[in-house]
Every structure is written in C-alpha cells, then in structure tokens.
A and B are shown apart, each in its own frame.
Chain A
C-alpha cells in the first residue's frame, strides 16, 4: 500500500467510447503525475500538476484530458482513443513538484479495441 489508489485497475474500451481514470492520494502531497507505460518502452511522463495547476504537458495528444480538482485527486479523461493507446497508466504523487520521492499507484491497464 503506497497511499496512492487508482481505479479502475483494468479497462477495455472501444475507440468511440469516453471513459475516465481516477487517482487518489492519501499522503498529503502537493504534486500529482500521470505516466504511461507501453510494452518494451520506458515510462513516459504525460502530465504534472502542482497545487492543482498543470505545470507540464509532455506533448500528449488532446484525446487525453487531465483534471485535478484538488491536491488529492487526479483524473485522466479518455476520448476517441486509438489501439496504440493501450498501455498501463500510472498515477504518482510527491510532496512537491521539485526533486523528491515519487510514490506510484497500482496502475490502470487500458485496452483499446
């Protein structure tokens, strides 16, 4: 138990569906992150939020839309995805967005048909 919870753990969706991934952290941290892990690739940073403000958007397609309503919750809204978007999506948090320990959730494994 790392203090970061992701739901759902598994998601299968069609290319025309709209779905959302949810992340919640119970660590009192101020920064939250979305990472993407595809097969045989290093983890890729997608988005960073610090105190609910987006500070990084790492050239992610607009079909991925993040939302951070408060410092404990982070969403990733998915719309019109492609099969190549199938991957493990990992949420993480840290005390601040500067250097410091990163704590990951268990991941949401997404399959796009």
Chain B
C-alpha cells in the first residue's frame, strides 16, 4: 500500500515563529488532507489539497503531486497551534478509494 512519511516528527517553536511541515508519499494520490489534532484528541480538517496551493489565514498548504510531496506552512505561530499535524492520503495503485492512509504526524509545541 501507499507509504506516508512526515517530517519532522517533533518541532518546538517560540510564539511568532514560522514553520514548514512536510509530507512525502510513495505513489500517486487522488486525495490528500492535512489535519490538526488538538490536545483533547479532536482532529480538525485543515486542508483538502490533492494538488495546488491553498491558504487559510496563517496557514497555507502546497501539494506537488508529480513530485509526491505536500507542505504545510504555519506563519506567526501561536500557542493554540500546538498539537499533532497529520497528513493523510488516498489513492495509489491497489488502494481503496475511500481508505485514507495517515502519516505518523508531526508534534508541534509552540512556547509563549
């Protein structure tokens, strides 16, 4: 099945700093999503981005499907940005249409 690798596994920032999270995947995809899991466990949908670039406030994401990676940018980070960021992809040869494969996540800690 499709492999998803996220980097870095852990990231510590001071409030106000910018960061880039990366997601590499091993095959072609027809679905890619970024999620933020808050400290209480809820997964919040950030972007649905199988290709191209999207922006939402301080967050933006870019997926280069031909090169099999996606980037999540966080600018002017805040303590509320802390949590785990997951990349999830769907597709690839032999994969189910409805089965998202999740990466292991990036644990982001933003200190005041």
A: which residues have CB within 8 A of B?
2, 31, 37, 42-43, 45, 48, 50, 55-56, 88, 90, 92, 94, 97-107, 109
User: Quick one: CB contact mask for B72-112 with A, threshold 8 Å, 1 for yes?
Assistant: 00000000000000101011000011111111110000000
**Residues on the A chain within 8 Å of B100, using CB:** 45, 102
Nearest chain A CB to B33 CB, angstrom units: 6
Residues of B within 8 A of A (CB): 30-31, 33, 35, 40-45, 48, 50, 86, 88, 90-91, 96-105
**B86 to A, closest residue via Cβ:** A43
Taking a contact as CB atoms closer than 8 A, the residue among B40, B41, B97, B101 that contacts A99 in the complex is B97
Contacts A99-B30, A99-B91 given: A104-B48 contact, CB under 8 Å?
Answer: no
Taking a contact as CB atoms under 8 Å apart, the answer to whether A97 and B97 are in contact is yes
Chain A min CB distance to B10 (Å): 13
Across-interface contacts of B44 in A (CB, < 8 A):
2, 104
CA distance A109 to B88 in the complex (A): 22
Q: Evaluate contact between B42 and A103: CB separation under 8 angstroms.
A: no
CB-CB under 8 A from B40, the residues of chain A are 106
CB distance from B96 to the nearest CB of A (A): 7
Nearest residue (CB) in B for A58 is B99
Q: Which of A42, A101, A106 contacts B45 (CB 8 A)?
A: A101
